[in-house]
Every structure is written in C-alpha cells, then in structure tokens.
Structure 1
Amino acid sequence: MLSCKELVAHSSDYLDGQLRLRERISVRAHLALCSHCRRFIRQLKLSQAVLRKLPDQQIPELDALAERLAQQQRQR
C-alpha cells in the first residue's frame, strides 16, 4: 500500500495516465481508503483544468496583476 507521500509523488503521472498497471492499482487502492488524498487529487485535477483554460499568449495585464499581488504578499 502506498503512503500519502508516495501517492503525491505519483499523482501527476497518475492523472496523465502514465503509470503502469501495478502502480495505477496501488494509487487507486490508496485513494479508496484515504479521503485526504482523494481531496488532493480532486484539487490537482481542478488546477490542471484551470491551467488548460488559460490563454497561450501572455497578457500584460495579468503579469502586472500577479506582480502587484506578489508585492502585497511580501509586505504582509
């Protein structure tokens, strides 16, 4: 049985369908028993979906917004 740490290490490959059968079964078995890791995988899937929706080209306004937010975070 995988540990939570091992599941996190395999999570991207799992979501990308790049695990071998034995690894995939181990991940699914762990997810069946661990609600924390199920939540982690759901959040990772959501993050991937959001990233796919972002435009391919850079938008200067988004870069400026990200910089302002980073500055505000550093000031806290």
Structure 2
Amino acid sequence: MLRCKELVARSSDYLDGQLTLGENLLARQHLLFCKNCRCFIKQMRLTQATIKALPEAPVDDVEKIVQRMTAAQRSDDTP
C-alpha cells in the first residue's frame, strides 16, 4: 500500500487519470483507509474545478509588455 507522501506525489497523475492500472489500484486502496488523503484529493479536485471555471485573461501584445517593463525599470533606476 502507498504511504501518504507517495500518494501526494502522484496526486496530479491520479486526478488526470495518468496512472497505470496497478498504480491506480494502489492509490484507491490507500484512499479507502486514509481520511486525510481523501480530504487532500477532494481539495485538489475542487482546486482544479475552480481553475477551469476561471475566465482566461486576455493576452496583451508581448512587445507592449516589454516596453512597459522597460519603462518601469528605467523610472526605478532614475535618482
């Protein structure tokens, strides 16, 4: 059976369905017996759902971003 550290390390792969059948069975077995890891996985699922529900931020033109950063840096360097 997996230990908590091992489950946490594989949690993203578990949630994404990327574990092998054997690894998935070990993770599910661990979750049957470990309340803390069940809570952790539940929180991870909620986090994933929240992130997916967020609107995508509009992407500014990269050149404009570089120009603003350069201007800000210059104004910070001025005595």
Q: TM-score range by the shorter chain?
A: 0.7 to 0.9
Counterpart Cα distance in 1 of 2:19 and 2:36: 21
Unaligned runs of 5+ residues in structure 1 are: 59-76
What one-letter code is carried by the residue in structure 1 that aligns with 2:15?
L
Confirm whether residue 49 of structure 1 aligns to residue 49 of structure 2: yes
* Structure 2 spans left out of the alignment, 5+ residues: 59-79
Alignment length (residue pairs): 58
Which ranges of 4 or more aligned residues in structure 1 deviate by more than 3 Å? Answer: none
Read off the aligned partner of 1:45 and give its amino acid letter. R
Alignment RMSD (CA, Å): 0.7
**TM-score in terms of structure 1 length:** 0.74
For 1:23 and 1:8, the matched residues in 2 are separated by: 13
**CA apart distance, 1:57:** 1.3
Q: What are the residue-to-residue correspondences of 1:21-36 with 2, within 5 Å? A: 21-36=21-36
Q: Which residue is 1:40 aligned to?
A: 40
